[in-house]
Amino acid sequence: MPCTCVVGLQWGDEAKGKIVDVLTPSHQYVVRYNGGANAGHTVVHGGKTYKFSLLPTGILHPHMTSVIANGVVVNPLRFFEEVETLRAAGIAIGDNLVVSDHAHLIFPYHLEEERLSEQGGENAIGTTGRGIGPCYQDKVGRVHGIRVGEILHPQHLRQRLRTIVPRKNRLLRAFSADAQQFDADALCDDYLRHAAGMGRFIANTGAVLHQALAAGKNILFEAAQGSLLDVDHGTYPYVTSSNSSAAGVWSGSGVPARNLSRVIGVIKAYTTRVGRGPFPTELNDGPDGIGERIRKTGREYGTVTGRPRRCGWFDAVAVRSTARLSGTDELAVMLLDVLSELDEIKICVGYDLDGTRIEEFPADAFLLDRCQPVYETLPGWKANLNGAKAVTDLPAAARRYVDRLASLLGLPVTIISIGPDRAQTIMDTR
């Protein structure tokens, strides 16, 4: 069985892009199956840094077909922006990119809906402002959702927008008297212009992937965000609106999960989170504290929004639950080098919830908020990891830390990353 899934097991930004990039030579297809331009994947490839939001990072490899599958939500403006930026950097984009006709389209009224809803103070989720939530709401609501394939039918699109846009305008006004209003025909004209550029990429990607499987091709599934942001299994309501765990592969691409022969769970050696929501191991220890040191050393600022990421210790309780959820076979430990300066390093091995020790992750935000982490402390290694090519080149304390993560999670660590460059990756550590 030829499929691999690379999935983040925390709150996103685990450096999945680098692992996808490392694995692409042995695959012919790479698939984004969830989310949209809310993702931020940074890949250092051939000495250059590339940033991705919507396109699969596999597009850097000319031998691969990159697929934006049905589970993704697509803003055509972001799509073209990214295609043009990559082309300007010398990346060929043509028949090697396919966009699902079943993916849903983000319209400007989705961005306005999100802007107004995020003004809600206490009720704000701290989203990326890319229209992701409102677009998925329309998809699931079935009345107002418009799919990518529909922009290829001008009369049909105009008719739909003439019904939908006046309703959206009324809903937006109900939210706020000064809400932005939209014109159905102007929007339709805009999207038909987009269709002219996007048309060549649009296909039934489910069928494309099944043909690939039948031809014995290898498919790499690239999750966006992290499993703790999964709409069903994450820290609801402080989540994204898609299935960002490996659970999304089947519905988000049409490829049955039984085809996955390898699920690589990607974890940072510590934890970060952007946006609001509970985070038991967060380090709120001030401008000279360890949280700030991790942020600075790990350059922990959002790729999409530039927001400083919240930083904290590794949480084995949370990751045990997401590793199980995604059917994880092996772990990639990223950014180990970021901890190199610390005297000692903590790992959360349990929670105290209202005086009771628990080891199962309570995903409900209101319960998780009350959990106090129970820590185990390990010595730091206080040494530069640069130049390590094999696990045996790592300082003993660093090896011990990685081994402890593996034993707490009950999974082998097969990849260790000690820097952004592809060369700074220790592979096959078993």
Q: C-beta of 98: minimal distance to ligand IMP in Å?
A: 22
**Candidate list 9, 39, 106, 172; residue touching ligand IMP; CB under 6 A:** 39
Dist CA 279 CA 65 (whole Å): 37
Dist CA 164 CA 184 (whole Å): 8
**Candidate list 24, 28, 34, 240; residue touching ligand IMP; CB under 6 A:** 240
Q: C-beta of 224: minimal distance to ligand IMP in Å?
A: 6
In terms of CB distance, is 358 or 365 closer to ligand IMP?
365
Site string for ligand IMP, 255-294 (x = CB under 6 A): -------------------xx-------------------
Residue 137 identity: Q
- Give the dihedral sign, CA 368/372/377/383: positive
Angle among Cα 232, 234, 236 to the nearest 5 degrees reads 80
Q: Does 72 bind ligand IMP (CB under 6 A)?
A: no
In terms of CB distance, is 12 or 248 closer to ligand IMP?
12
**Candidate list 4, 24, 57, 128; residue touching ligand IMP; CB under 6 A:** 128
Question: 138-141 — which CB contacts under 8 Å span 24+ positions?
Answer: 138/104, 138/110, 139/73, 139/104
Q: Does 38 bind ligand IMP (CB under 6 A)?
A: yes
Q: Does 227 bind ligand IMP (CB under 6 A)?
A: no
| Intra-chain end-to-end CA distance of the chain, in Å | 22
Q: C-beta of 130: minimal distance to ligand IMP in Å?
A: 5
Asked if 55 and 87 touch (Cβ cutoff 8 Å), the reply is no
Residue 101 falls in the annotated catalytic set: no
Q: Which of residues 316-345 bind ligand IMP (CB under 6 A)?
A: none
In terms of CB distance, is 38 or 321 closer to ligand IMP?
38
Closest to 98 in 3D by CA, of 156, 155, 28 = 28
Closest to 161 in 3D by CA, of 140, 145, 175 = 145
Please, what's the largest Cα pairwise distance for the chain? 67
Q: How many residues line the site for ligand IMP (CB under 6 A)?
A: 21
* Active-site choice (13, 138, 230, 337): 13
**Candidate list 73, 132, 187, 333; residue touching ligand IMP; CB under 6 A:** 132
Closest to 380 in 3D by CA, of 341, 412, 410, 418 = 341
Q: Does 135 bind ligand IMP (CB under 6 A)?
A: no
In terms of CB distance, is 62 or 129 closer to ligand IMP?
129
- The piece of 146-154, 224-232, 315-323, 327-335 that touches ligand IMP (CB under 6 A) is 224-232
In terms of CB distance, is 2 or 12 closer to ligand IMP?
12
**Candidate list 2, 56, 76, 133; residue touching ligand IMP; CB under 6 A:** 133
In terms of CB distance, is 127 or 417 closer to ligand IMP?
127
**Neighbouring C-beta atoms of residue 286, cutoff 10 Å:** 9
Q: C-beta of 239: minimal distance to ligand IMP in Å?
A: 6
Residue 140 identity: V
Residue 110 falls in the annotated catalytic set: no
In terms of CB distance, is 106 or 342 closer to ligand IMP?
106
User: What distances in angstroms separate CA 310 from CA 120, 286, 296, 332, one per listed residue?
Assistant: 21, 12, 11, 21
* Residues forming a β-bridge with 308: 301
Q: Does 43 bind ligand IMP (CB under 6 A)?
A: no
- What would the two tokens of residue 132 be? 């992701």
User: What distances in angstroms separate CA 328 from CA 246, 341, 403, one per listed residue?
Assistant: 9, 30, 17
Dist CA 253 CA 326 (whole Å): 16
Q: C-beta of 243: minimal distance to ligand IMP in Å?
A: 12
Asked if 113 and 134 touch (Cβ cutoff 8 Å), the reply is yes
Catalytic residues: 13, 41
Query: By the criterion CB under 6 A, which residues form the site for ligand IMP?
Result: 11-13, 38-40, 125-128, 130, 132-133, 224-225, 229, 238, 240-241, 274-275
